[in-house]
């Protein structure tokens, strides 16, 4: 993990304070424009590559939801996080052999994209006498190099998952193609909202559809206007990623 000097830490923390104030204001405005209250939108801080000291400063500022993308990085940070003041989730692609490291550490896994993965989460949750909340990730842009269930397979996967013990489907997650323009991104977000509402109306057992997680640093306002109630913001909060020490 990146090591910061005292001056660097102070600078990062000041920048975080300013960024968080701006992002909260933009989220609040977008919430009102979409006919909701600011508190209806959950800001989840995407903390990949962010030093624990900076994350903990954010938690002290009120960041009550954080998400990690990599299992090893989450485990490395876990004991040093101010976990009693925040909710820790996993938001990255997850291999079945890594599930065992997350049970008991995170409140939600946002990236379930197959029955195989859901079954492993269920099996280990049963073993540990816990229930894991999950989101099903949709490959809304049909990108070959991206995880997520294809839209036409979503309904079938949800019906299969709904029968698994110790697992609750709380909603959907998606990441539109990074190279999509605003019009295309709006289309993807709108389609995700349609799937979210359609699934909610089906009233499947063990599938509540409380959370629609979409929108990141470049497009969280657009996502909220399209119906998202959780946005995952990283670089807009913490600054550009530093991958040199990974």
Give the number of other Cβ atoms within 10 Å of residue 242's Cβ.
13
CA distances to 27, 81, 100, 170 from 90, in Å: 22, 14, 13, 14
**The predicted structure's pLDDT at residue 4:** 82
How far does CA 136 lie from the centroid of its chain?
11
**The predicted structure's pLDDT at residue 233:** 98
Burial 210-239 (b: 16+ CB within 10 A, else e): ebbbbbbbebbbbbbbbbbbbbbbbbbbbe
**Mean pLDDT per 10-residue section of the chain, whose length is 246 residues:** 82 96 98 98 97 97 98 97 97 97 98 98 97 98 94 97 96 96 97 97 93 97 98 95 58
Instruction: Give the relative orientation of helices 151-161 and 115-127 as an angle to the nearest 10 degrees.
Output: 30
125 contacts 102 by C-beta, under 8 angstroms: no
pLDDT in tens, 214-228: 999 999 999 999 999
**The predicted structure's pLDDT at residue 243:** 56
Fold of 6-238: TIM Barrel (3.20.20)
**The predicted structure's pLDDT at residue 77:** 97
Q: What does the DSSP 8-state code read for residue 41?
A: S
**The predicted structure's pLDDT at residue 2:** 64
The structural domains of the chain, with segments of one domain joined by +, span: 6-238
């Amino acid at each position: 993990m990146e090591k910061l000097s005292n001056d660097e830490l102070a600078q990062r923390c000041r920048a975080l304070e300013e960024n968080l104030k701006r992002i909260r204001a933009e989220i609040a405005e977008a919430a009102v424009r979409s006919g909701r209250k600011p508190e209806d939108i959950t800001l989840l801080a995407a903390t990949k590559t962010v030093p624990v000291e900076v994350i903990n400063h954010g938690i002290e500022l009120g960041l009550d939801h954080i998400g990690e993308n990599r299992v090893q990085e989450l485990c490395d940070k876990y004991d040093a996080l101010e976990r009693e003041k925040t909710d820790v989730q996993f938001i990255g692609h997850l291999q079945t052999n890594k599930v065992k490291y997350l049970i008991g550490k995170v409140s939600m896994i946002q990236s379930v994209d197959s029955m195989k993965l859901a079954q492993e989460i269920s099996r280990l949750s049963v073993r540990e006498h816990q229930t894991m909340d999950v989101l099903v990730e949709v490959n809304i842009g049909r990108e070959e190099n991206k995880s997520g269930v294809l839209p036409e397979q979503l309904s079938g996967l949800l019906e299969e998952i709904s029968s698994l013990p110790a697992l609750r489907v709380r909603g959907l997650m998606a990441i539109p193609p990074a190279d999509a323009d605003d019009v295309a991104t709006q289309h993807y977000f709108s389609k995700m909202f349609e799937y979210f509402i359609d699934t909610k109306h089906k009233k499947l057992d063990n599938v509540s559809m409380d959370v629609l997680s979409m929108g990141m640093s470049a497009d969280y306002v657009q996502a909220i206007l399209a119906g998202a109630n959780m946005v995952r913001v990283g670089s807009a909060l913490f600054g550009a990623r530093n991958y040199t020490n990974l």
